[in-house]
Amino acid sequence: MKKIRIGSFLSVLLTLLFIYALVKWGIPAMSREITSLPFPLPVPGTLMFFYMVLTIVALFLYVTFSEEGLTDFLRPVKKFLRGGYTKIFRAVVLTAIPAVIGWQVYEIVVPKVEVPSALRIQHPSSNFPKSFEAKKNPFSDPTEAEVDAFIEQAKANEVVFIPQVQDDIDHWADESEPDHVLEFFPDGPMKKLLAQVQDGNVDKATAKAALLEKTLYEGRALYAMNCRACHGDSVAGDGPMADGFKLRPIDFTDNGTIETIVEGYTFWRVTNGGPGLPTEATPWDSAMPEWKLSLTEEQRWRIILAEYNLAQKTPRIPESH
């Protein structure tokens, strides 16, 4: 049986095409199998460039390895240039190559008409429900009954924390065996309250300040778990993930952000995130998650209390007040 031998020029061309197809479609298809994601992971352009350069270098070495190899490779090229594959074919190819290259260069250098960059409105109110406007943070001003209940808990040494921090506090209590769980807070109003509890003479103002301190601690913990990655430890919009977004997470310490809006508005923003924003706020879509999907109303309010506190800002007072 006669072996079909394809020339070295053709095999070099086919190898190039094969490697290109492998990197361009093969690897993404494999990645999809491995990760079982609903979409393939594309190979980045630079990596693609490296693969192709390496392939060309390897093929160049292969072809120029011997005198015969090079002659074999150049034979069809010479035949083509002499018009051995018909003169028409030569004319077509020799016209097409500069035309394609010229077109590519033109594509790159021609000034493009840029899509006008629309201004983004950071605080759109068009679909902000009016009912949210007067919403107040239920934790910022604890009622008399809540303060009394807290005093009772403190007296009985049975202060209850949100489950997200309770484990840490229990762990601390096991390690340091304190007389009272509130010793977890080494200073501030909590220390004052503890001294008063031990004296048997608690005043409500101190208890209220201590309760606020406890809520802030819980809010800060929830903030660290949910918001820190984007908005940062310093609440300045510089979390570890912040650089990944074209529309940067908001810097809460900036005067134009959470200070200029009423609390109910902040609550609405946190609740509905980027997806809840109207069109005037959509250029460079916001990555802000829709927190109603994963945080309860109480958790959101606790975080907002901590957020304003960390940023050392106060919300705007609603007009009706």
Contacts with ligand HEC, residue ranges (CB under 6 A): 122-123, 226-227, 229-231, 241, 245, 247, 249-250, 257-258, 266, 269-270, 274, 286-289, 291, 303, 307
Q: How open is the CA angle 186-187-192, to the nearest 5 degrees?
A: 115
Provide, rounded to whole angstroms, the least separation between the CB of residue 127 and ligand HEC: 14
Q: Whose Cβ is closer to ligand HEC: residue 104's or residue 294's?
A: 294
Long-range CB pairs of 164-169, under 8 A, 24+ apart, other chains included: 164/218, 164/221, 164/222, 164/225, 165/217, 165/218, 165/221
Q: Whose Cβ is closer to ligand HEC: residue 26's or residue 124's?
A: 124
Q: Dihedral of CA 177/179/184/186: which sign?
A: negative
CA distance 163 to 215: 13
Residue 118 phi, psi (nearest 5): -75, 145
Q: Name 75's Cβ contacts closer than 8 Å, sequence gap at least 6.
A: 7, 9
Provide, rounded to whole angstroms, the least separation between the CB of residue 316 and ligand HEC: 11
Provide, rounded to whole angstroms, the least separation between the CB of residue 207 and ligand HEC: 27
Q: Whose Cβ is closer to ligand HEC: residue 123's or residue 204's?
A: 123
Q: Whose Cβ is closer to ligand HEC: residue 68's or residue 243's?
A: 243
Provide, rounded to whole angstroms, the least separation between the CB of residue 244 and ligand HEC: 8
Q: Whose Cβ is closer to ligand HEC: residue 23's or residue 121's?
A: 121
Q: Is the separation of the CB atoms in 288 and 269 below 8 Å? A: yes
Dihedral Cα 139, 143, 144, 149, nearest 10 deg:
-50
Provide, rounded to whole angstroms, the least separation between the CB of residue 44 and ligand HEC: 22
Provide, rounded to whole angstroms, the least separation between the CB of residue 273 and ligand HEC: 7
Give me 241's structure tokens.
Answer: 């993930």
Q: Whose Cβ is closer to ligand HEC: residue 153's or residue 253's?
A: 253
Q: Whose Cβ is closer to ligand HEC: residue 212's or residue 311's?
A: 311
Provide, rounded to whole angstroms, the least separation between the CB of residue 32 and ligand HEC: 25
Q: Whose Cβ is closer to ligand HEC: residue 197's or residue 261's?
A: 261
Provide, rounded to whole angstroms, the least separation between the CB of residue 249 and ligand HEC: 4
CA distance 49 to 24: 11
Q: Decide: helix, strand or coil at residue 316.
A: strand
Instruction: Identify the CA nearest to 44 among candidates 57, 21, 28, 61.
Output: 28
Q: Is the separation of the CB atoms in 189 and 213 below 8 Å? A: yes
